[in-house]
Copies of this chain bind each other. A is one copy, B any other.
Amino acid sequence: MGYLDFTGKYTHSVDAKNRVNIPARFRKVLAEAEICEVVISKGIDSGHIDVFPLPKWLAIRDKISASMQLVNRTHRNFLRQITQNATHCVLDSQGRIMLTPALMELAGIKKGANVEFIGLLDFMEIWDPDELKKHEENTPLTESDFEKLEQLPLI
C-alpha cells in the first residue's frame, strides 16, 4: 500500500442522488493498485469526509480493534464515533461513490453543490469549499506547531 500517492486538489459536484465522481487522477492511482472499494468516514476535523482506500481502512481497523478494550467506556464511545459514520463504497461503473446523508450533514455538504477533493498521500478528503476555507483561515500552522513537528523525523 506504500505506493498509493494521492496529491492535488480537485473540484467536483455532488448530484441529486448524493453521488460524487472521484477525480480521474485519483481513480488512476486506485486502479493501478487494483482497488475498487473505499471506506468513507467522518473526518477528525469537522467539515469534511475522509476517503480511505480499502487496504488503508483495513489497516486502521486492525490497529483500532487490536488496542480497544470494550469494557472501557471511552474506548467504546470512540469506536462508535469512528464506525457509525464509516461506510464501504464500491466505485460504480463511472467511478463514482455515493455519500451518506449523515456524512453530508456532518461535513456541511449539500446535494448538488461543489466539493473539494484533497489528496493526502494514501487517502483523500472531501471538503465543503466554505468549510475548507474557514478551516484554513482559522487554523494556520504556527511557529510552535512547527517546533513540535520538528521532534518527528519528518522531512
- Name A residues whose Cβ lies closer than 8 Å to a Cβ of B: 2, 5-9, 25, 39, 41, 44-45, 58, 60-65, 67, 70-71, 73-74, 76-81, 83-88, 100, 102, 118-122, 125, 139-141, 145, 148-149, 152-155
Contacts and interface: CB of A to CB of B under 8 A. Distances in A.
A130 to B, nearest CB: 16
Given A44-B70, A44-B71, A149-B74, A155 B60 contact: yes
Copy number in this complex? 2
Nearest to A61: B121
A70 B115 CA distance: 22
Query: Chain A: interface secondary structure?
Result: mixed
Contact of A121 (B65, B118, B119, B155): B65
Given A25-B88, A60-B155, A83-B120, 19 more contacts: A7-B83, A7-B86, A9-B84, A9-B85, A44-B70, A45-B76, A60-B154, A64-B154, A64-B155, A65-B122, A67-B153, A73-B139, A74-B141, A74-B149, A78-B149, A80-B118, A80-B125, A83-B118, A86-B119
Among A7, A9, A25, A63, the most chain B Cβ lie within 10 Å of the Cβ of A7
A87 B153 contact: no
Nearest to A149: B78
